Structure 1
């Protein structure tokens, strides 16, 4: 198989599923959830908490099953379809259907995040360690471009609903949800066609056998993770700063709406984030190769800390626009670099299992961000204080990252592979 073709196909999946990240997670659905479904920024945060818990419960087991059975691409296909169908089904959410919206968003989030567990692990199958910063960054960059293009189409449709002959903005938003499902599925096809599962000598067996093997392997993961102390320290840092990043992504639109930013300005600012993010993520990946992944990650987390503090004082649409540009500079690059680092410090043969473990534990912890936002908002009745509380996750992540020795982490993984 042509490795370059596999890489291009792998990168296109980020283009595909980022439609969900932009339209459902970040821009259109949070506003629709409040304006049409009858929710609030607090109930939106609790919906995200529920999805984080659901993902945390299933991701590590599925990761272990994928490694045991050698069926990463198959499982990615299944959860992509689940996510795409849930996205399209949001078109049926009408006035006051907050609970229906919440359930479908949770299902979509499970499809998105669990699918990414398998997607991330495939990076190791199609690249060398030296390629991973660049290829990982390409993936996130294409995600920004693809997600941004569809969001631009959706934004044009929502703002120009009269010219298009639609009955109202609600109908335009519902069509945008269907478009997300179609976009996600169609642009996933190159990966499904060109990237094949790597056969394993011991793969096979029925579903029950795979579940038992996966559960057994997961138990071993929990027991043996302490043998990888540098990896474990990096995971601790990831739990905190990923939680902060995730909270900003999913709460930005609802937060902006709560403090008085107009819907059109919210979506336009989030759209600009995508197109700033495309070149910025590519540049971030190149700089990570030149000056070091850890240094670039530090810079991104400090920038995020500034974004949270500035967001507390934000009052106008211009402020929101400027902060959206700042987010675009570091959002994709920070996640791509963290993904590349992690791919280098996990033992071969247990790639999906460890990606699943990171995904699940990150998701298990990530409910803390939206939950903290919701609790602070509930008791203080201040969305600004709720946002400021998120700064804690970046502060702790920065401190924990300082204690990670990446060179030693790679040595530990390689030594334990041989032993």
Structure 2
């Protein structure tokens, strides 16, 4: 058992406890963001609103939550690094998200303002906590950061999928489980997410240690935490600009994450448009959750393997990402020709093969390109990229659909994000980027400040 855990990047209790947080918070992603709450919001909470106003309000609340995190996370990350408070900030955002999610249990017909406010706060808690959770990755005791990041996503698939299946069973068969109706079962499902998120977050706080800030991460800087945060943020922005390869990777990630996010968000809408029934769509969603587990582990093991199908070339994290982007390109093209429910399931299975692994390897690769003592600050920029990555893709999807009168052309238009991301990724010299990160960290420690300007003149690859 120990060797199997080690193989999957979970050899230490600290690594397993870190990865279990993915298990904990993925319940929010599946039940609240994807499957249960959106329908409850539109059909019950906003059911009395005219036209598509409920959908419009839901879209606004989602955008507001993401925007708040995108704007605040760089400063919060700077403060967390300066005061050695990653876990405290993580705990604060988890508490915020859990309380707001539990509050959704109290909502009912007509509670549009209350539900919208709670949903915004829950989104802020969920997304904000991820900034500090991801920033702990490079500090966890493990011999393989790619394997650990992938294990987190895989456990997230299992955890989120298990609770989703239970919640869907409650909602679809409420009487079987003692609920008086669908509405009561839905509210109980939302409350169960808060409980699940809380319980499975505990191992991280007990067993994952607060990272050593290094010699210079604490300074005698005077002023409030916010002033300190902005001061460090200005310096960190300079460090980001100095690391050309990190900037290129952020640009690549911004592009292909937009394509991935659009497929996740628009798959159900597109499936409905071309005639795929609700049962087929929900079934495909559950399929992705559980099929994604073995494929996430398999994809995460690609780096440092030799693949006969690719001429025996030795894989790296970067090359594995190329494989994922190639599969996504095929999915976009295949979506154009989709007509039957089984086509939808085949493409869902294809998504499952690369979705978790591509995102996990992106996270682990980025973690190796940032200075350890500034990981929260740098991961706040990663978080911003992932939040803004949800804008252009859906906008292009809508524009092309409006222009052509069919979303078939919209789905194939997403190829531009995967091809463009691969082109930018090809310009990233990973080893040079890692060396630059270490030089930035060394310069920070020498100066007695946790965020010093990076070295100039680092060569391109």
Query: Once the 2 structures are TM-superposed, how far is the Cα of residue 45 of structure 1 from its aligned partner?
Result: 4.8
Query: Once the 2 structures are TM-superposed, how far is the Cα of residue 321 of structure 1 from its aligned partner?
Result: 2.1
Structure 2 counterpart of 1:180: 193
Tell me: CA distance 1:352–1:171, structure 2 relative to 1, closer, same or farther (3 Å). Answer: same
Structure 2 counterpart of 1:359: 383
Query: Once the 2 structures are TM-superposed, how far is the Cα of residue 373 of structure 1 from its aligned partner?
Result: 4.1
Which of the pair has the greater relative contact order for Cα pairs under 8 Å at 6+ separation? 1
CA contact (8 A) 1:237 1:396 kept: yes
Q: How does 1:364-379 map to 2 (within 5 A)?
A: 364-374=388-398
Q: How does 1:315-326 map to 2 (within 5 A)?
A: 315-326=339-350
Match of 1:154 among 154, 167, 172: 167
Structure 2 counterpart of 1:89: 103
Which has the larger displacement, 174-183 or 207-216?
A: 207-216
Q: Which has the larger radius of gyration?
A: 2
Structure 1 counterpart of 2:259: 244
Structure 2 counterpart of 1:328: 352
Tell me: CA distance 1:52–1:374, structure 2 relative to 1, closer, same or farther (3 Å). Answer: farther
Structure 2 counterpart of 1:171: 184
Which has the larger displacement, 113-122 or 372-381?
A: 372-381
CA contact (8 A) 1:45 1:374 kept: no
CA contact (8 A) 2:40 2:186 kept: yes
CA distance in 1: counterparts of 2:120 and 2:255, whole angstroms? 22
Note the alpha carbon deviations across 1:188-225, whole angstroms, 9 max, x for none. Answer: 01111222323547649999722211111111122332
Q: How does 1:146-295 map to 2 (within 5 A)?
A: 146-198=159-211, 200=213, 203=218, 209-290=224-305, 291-295=315-319
Structure 1 counterpart of 2:33: 25
Match of 1:62 among 76, 80, 83: 76
CA contact (8 A) 2:150 2:297 kept: yes
Secondary structure of the corresponding residue to residue 407 of structure 1: helix
Query: Once the 2 structures are TM-superposed, how far is the Cα of residue 399 of structure 1 from its aligned partner?
Result: 1.6
Note the alpha carbon deviations across 1:77-118, whole angstroms, 9 max, x for none. Answer: 111122222223333443465555444333222211211110
1:12 aligns with 2:20: yes
1:73 aligns with 2:87: yes
Higher helix proportion: 1
Note the alpha carbon deviations across 1:12-41, whole angstroms, 9 max, x for none. Answer: 101000101111222223333444335576
Which blocks of at least 5 consecutive residues in structure 1 are unaligned? none
Note the alpha carbon deviations across 1:264-301, whole angstroms, 9 max, x for none. Answer: 33222111111111111111111124221111111111
Note the alpha carbon deviations across 1:300-320, whole angstroms, 9 max, x for none. Answer: 112122223333443443232
In the superposition, the TM-score normalised over structure 1's length comes to 0.90
CA contact (8 A) 2:239 2:440 kept: no
Secondary structure of the corresponding residue to residue 334 of structure 2: helix
CA distance in 1: counterparts of 2:186 and 2:149, whole angstroms? 31
Structure 1 counterpart of 2:146: 133
CA contact (8 A) 1:27 1:266 kept: no
Structure 1 counterpart of 2:4: none
CA distance in 2: counterparts of 1:82 and 1:170, whole angstroms? 25
Secondary structure of the corresponding residue to residue 372 of structure 2: coil
Which has the larger displacement, 405-414 or 146-155?
A: 405-414
How many pairs does the alignment contain? Answer: 417
CA distance in 1: counterparts of 2:345 and 2:406, whole angstroms? 21
Q: How does 1:294-313 map to 2 (within 5 A)?
A: 294-313=318-337
CA contact (8 A) 1:48 1:370 kept: no
